[in-house]
Structures are given as structure tokens and as C-alpha cells.
Amino acid sequence: MLTHTEENYLKVIYHLSQTEDEGISTNAIAQKIDTKASSVTDMIKKLKEKKLITHERYQGVFITTLGLQTAKMIIRKHRLWEVFLVNKLNFNWDEVHDVAEELEHIKSEKLINALDAFLGFPKEDPHGDPIPNSKGEIPYREKELLTETKINHKYMCVGVKDTSAAFLQYLDRQKIALGSTFTVLKHENFDHSVTILFQENELTLSKVVAHNLFVKKI
Amino acid sequence: MLTHTEENYLKVIYHLSQTEDEGISTNAIAQKIDTKASSVTDMIKKLKEKKLITHERYQGVFITTLGLQTAKMIIRKHRLWEVFLVNKLNFNWDEVHDVAEELEHIKSEKLINALDAFLGFPKEDPHGDPIPNSKGEIPYREKELLTETKINHKYMCVGVKDTSAAFLQYLDRQKIALGSTFTVLKHENFDHSVTILFQENELTLSKVVAHNLFVKKI
DNA sequence: ATTAAATTTTAGACAAATCTAAAAATATTT
DNA sequence: AAATATTTTTAGATTTGTCTAAAATTTAAT
């Protein structure tokens, strides 16, 4: 049985492992958790003791198969609760993160599977992130960053890389939501901004924005 | 901001205050929380510090207005989540307690009010206990114990005093649920059992059962 | 290849919530 | 009213998760 804190560390290690082949550094974890490296070292010992990660002094952390499976179950819970909040309780997509962060630690397999069924076995959360099924399998969905697109092709917005309230609220103001479609008109070489034709209007999105929007060719 | 543990203590003190005019004893709390009296003494200091209770050495605990309001909000959350589990996720009424015990600590007023609305502002939880509204007002509902009833009158089952899984499962086996109606036929003086006419059959309920069933004359 | 810099770990401390064992206060018996 | 029993509190430890400061190790720079 894991504590909330252990679950939070494991989730961070899982996410860092997604884009890192080497061991995850103590500092990288500390930065994500917003704590001190010494605290991370302490927690690493506990997670290692529970066989969720492997670790050699000064060599970084690797997540084990057990750790991977456990992390995916926490992420499953987080994302299902987010769907619940948005689809059933009418939360906006920028309001769900902190509450889901709490709800993800509720321990009941029956609860989460019943919730999954109640929601109609959704494949993605409100930010377009895939929801692991009860076996931990993560549905694959084609997606690329808006920065990588080809001009004169039509795309649909399918996800966000940055899930901060600030970014989501910016998208709301631009009327961009998951499912929105548009044509890419131009990639500006100078500042890497992207101009799209969206709802009959030309809209220029900065590099920062384009680099955090996942799209799919349609 | 209260910890989970502080909330659990406060809830217990609230419940004990309901049937007790004197100060709540350290031992009474210890027994309910299933901990040692010395741990209770420690926690009393913390709750007193936060102005949720008053306490003089050796004199028992009294809940303050702030404590009362806080406790009612925790109970509101607990009971609303129980309704959610039963009405939306198809949990049986004997399966909800432990999960609701965790869910009640989720901290988001928006969440709980949205949940309340989503559930249609229920007045009672699946065990017939009243749900405080967002202001902390508790709806009154007429009820008496089956042991107090008059013979040859018709009653409806409106609640249970004992909410243990064992008792609820016993009621399931007898096909007794909230809303069930029956006529009281006899009070047996010898063992205080109660015989009712329920669904065309005579059914004798022991004193223990009758003393834990809330009913209402119809 | 040393030296300097950055990272990581250890050592020791603290707050929260718990415990045991002993002391203090209150309640009950005789 | 004194003796006994019960209840409550204190004192001192333990565990979890955190911290600071210092030591150990690795990495980068000259």
C-alpha cells in the first residue's frame, strides 16, 4: 500500500521516464515535486524498498515493471476523474487538475472500474491524454505538434502538451478546443509562429502555443 | 486547513455530541477512533488550537460553532458521495462506507456543490441519513424506531441506525429496503421482538433489528 | 590531469500522528 | 474520609516526510 506522497513521486518518475532513456536524476524529480534533492533521496530509498524503481548511488532512477503498472493505474484514476469533472459536473478543462490530483489517490478498484463504465469507457481525458484501461494498456492515438505540420493541410486539435490553466484559458479565448479543425497556412521561419485558417479567420499562434498543441491530419 | 486525521476526530466528536449534553470524554473518542487515550489528548490540543472545540483538563470536549459547521460540511461530503456511489455507480448500500470515508476528505467546495446539483440535491443518503445543504442546514425528517411503533398501523422504512455491512446485508436478505412498507402486528413482551406483515408474509424481527430500523407512520 | 562546479547523498533536526509507560487528577468504594 | 479504581494527561519514542548543512561523488573546465 502506497502513501499519497509515494504515489506522487512514482507518477513524476513515470512521466520523466517517458522522455528519458537514462536514469532519472534526483534533481529532475526534486524540481517536478518542488522539493529538495535530499528529500528525493529519502523517497528513492522507500520506492526502491517497495520494488517500484531501481537505483544505484549517483546513477539515477529507473522504473520497474511493477512501478510502471502502478503508475499507470494512478494515471488512469487521475484521467477518469478529470473526465467525470468535465463531462458530468461541468467543470472547465482548466479547473480539473488540482481536484483530480486529490481524487487519484482514492483506493478502490471497484470504484474506478465502475466510474470507467459510468463514463462510457472514455479513451482520452479532457486534455486529450490517453486513459489506460483496467489492464494498464494505453490506447495509441496519432498526434503531432502543430509546429511539425505541413502547410495547406487540414488538421484537428486532439490534445495539449501544456495543461496549465494559463495555457488552457488562452486557448479558450482563441475559441480553440479539442476537436477544433483548421488549415495550416504558414510557418514563419523567423519566430516559428504558425498561421492557421480557423473559423473563416486567419489566426497566428506563437511558437510557444504551437509547440504545445497536439493535432492530427484529417 | 485540516488534515484527514483532524477531520476524522472532529466528525467523531460531532456524532458523540449529538447524544451527549456533557463534555465528550477522551475515552469515548479513543474508542470510536480505535486509538489510545493519549493520542486523543494530543489531538484535542490541536483541535482546540484551531478553535473547533473547547476543552479544560479532565473535563471533556465541547464542539464550537465553527467545529459544528466544519463537521457538517464533512458529513455533507460523505453522504453526497454515498448517494453518488449508489445512484450512479450502482454500489450496494453496504459497500459505500469505506470509499465515502476517503472521498469525504477531498477539498473543493465547487466539487461538492456541483456533485450535489448533479445528484439532484438529495435530502438523504442511501441509509436514510439527512444530508446537510451547502449552508449546513440539516433537513428534518420524521422517524421513529421500529421498537416504538403501535400495532396495526402501517409504516415505511426510512432509515437505519446501524449502518454496518452485516446489518445491511441482513436487511437485504429479508428484502427490506428504504421505502419498504409493512404493518406492525405484534410487540413480543418477552424478547421485544416485533412481528410485521410485509409483502403478504408475517416476519418477526428481533429486538436488535427492530431497534436499528427507523420507520415512519403512513 | 588537476581544479572547480554541480549533483547527490548523508547526518541531524523538526512536525504530525501515533504508541507505551508512568504520573496526575477524578470518581468510586468501603 | 481513606483507599482503590478509573480516567486523563504527560513524558519520551517511533514513523513519515520534510528541511538545512556538510560530505561524498560525479561532471565539466581549464
pLDDT tens-digit readout, A71-123: 999 999 999 999 999 999 999 999 999 999 999 999 999 999 999 999 999 99
Ramachandran assignment for B204, one of left (phi > 0), alpha (psi -120 to 50 degrees), beta (any other): beta
Q: What is the CATH number of the domain that holds B13?
A: 1.10.10.10
List protein-proximal bases of chain C (any atom < 7 A from a CB): 7-12, 16-22, 25-26
Cell readout for B176 is 427490506
> Among all chains, which residue has been given the C-alpha cell 522522455?
A19
Would residue A119 count as lying in a domain?
Answer: no
- Whole-number mean pLDDT of chain A? 96
pLDDT at B1 (0 to 100): 84
**pLDDT tens per residue across span A154-176:** 999 999 999 999 999 999 999 99
Whether B164 and chain A come into contact, CB under 8 Å, resolves to no
Cell readout for A171 is 486557448
In order of A27, A103, B107, the CA distances from A33 in angstroms are 10, 18, 20
Would residue B170 count as lying in a domain?
Answer: yes
First to last CA, chain A: 45
In order of A207, B130, B178, B215, the CA distances from B139 in angstroms are 56, 6, 17, 16
**Closest nt to A58 (CA→C1')?**
C8
Chain A residues inside the 8 Å CB shell of B95: 110
Nearest Cα to Cα of residue A14 among A84, A66, A57: A66
Residue–nucleotide distance: A50 CA to D26 C1' (Å): 27
- Tens-of-pLDDT digits for all 218 residues of chain B? 899 999 999 999 999 999 988 999 999 999 999 999 999 999 999 999 999 999 999 999 999 999 999 999 999 999 999 999 999 999 999 999 999 999 999 999 999 999 999 999 999 999 999 999 999 999 999 999 999 999 999 999 999 999 999 999 999 999 999 999 999 999 999 999 999 999 999 999 999 999 999 999 99
Q: What DSSP string runs through A157-170? A: EEEES---HHHHHH
Q: Which residues pair with B63 in a beta bridge?
A: B53
Residue–nucleotide distance: A15 CA to D6 C1' (Å): 56
Which of B44, B63, B82 finishes a domain? B63
Q: What is the CATH number of the domain that holds B150?
A: 2.30.30.90
Give residue A153's pLDDT band: very low, low, confident or very high (50, 70, 90): very high
Residues above pLDDT 90, as percent of chain A: 97
List protein-proximal bases of chain D (any atom < 7 A from a CB): 7-12, 16-22, 25-26
Which of B63, B80, B110 finishes a domain? B63
Residue–nucleotide distance: B46 CA to C15 C1' (Å): 12
Would residue B9 count as lying in a domain?
Answer: yes
- Strand ranges across the sheet with B181-187: B144-145, B213-217, B154-160, B181-187, B194-198, B201-205
Would residue A186 count as lying in a domain?
Answer: yes
Would residue B204 count as lying in a domain?
Answer: yes
Residue–nucleotide distance: A5 CA to D16 C1' (Å): 10
Nearest to B89 among A89, A107, A115 (CB): A115
pLDDT at A21 (0 to 100): 87
> Among all chains, which residue has been given the C-alpha cell 481524487?
A103
Residue B33 identity (one-letter amino acid):
I
B218, burial (CB in 10 Å: exposed 0-12, middle 13-18, buried 19+): exposed
Ramachandran assignment for B130, one of left (phi > 0), alpha (psi -120 to 50 degrees), beta (any other): beta
The dihedral through the CA atoms of A197, A201, A202, A203 has a sign that is negative
Would residue B198 count as lying in a domain?
Answer: yes
pLDDT at A1 (0 to 100): 84
Q: How many CA atoms lie within 13 A of A101 on its CB side?
A: 12
DSSP B13: H
Residue B128 identity (one-letter amino acid):
G
Would residue B45 count as lying in a domain?
Answer: yes
Would residue B105 count as lying in a domain?
Answer: no
What residues make up the domain containing B45?
Answer: 4-63
Residue whose CA lies closest to nucleotide C8 C1': A58
Strands A213-217 and A154-160: antiparallel
Q: Could you check: is the Cβ of residue B44 within 7 Å of any atom of nucleic acid strand D?
A: yes
Which of A36, A63, A90 finishes a domain? A63
Number of folded domains that form chain B? 2
Q: How far is B108 from chain A (nearest CA, A)?
A: 7
* Residue of B106, B107, B119 to mutate for A, most A C-beta atoms under 10 A: B106
Q: How confident is the model over A30-42, as a mean pLDDT?
A: 94
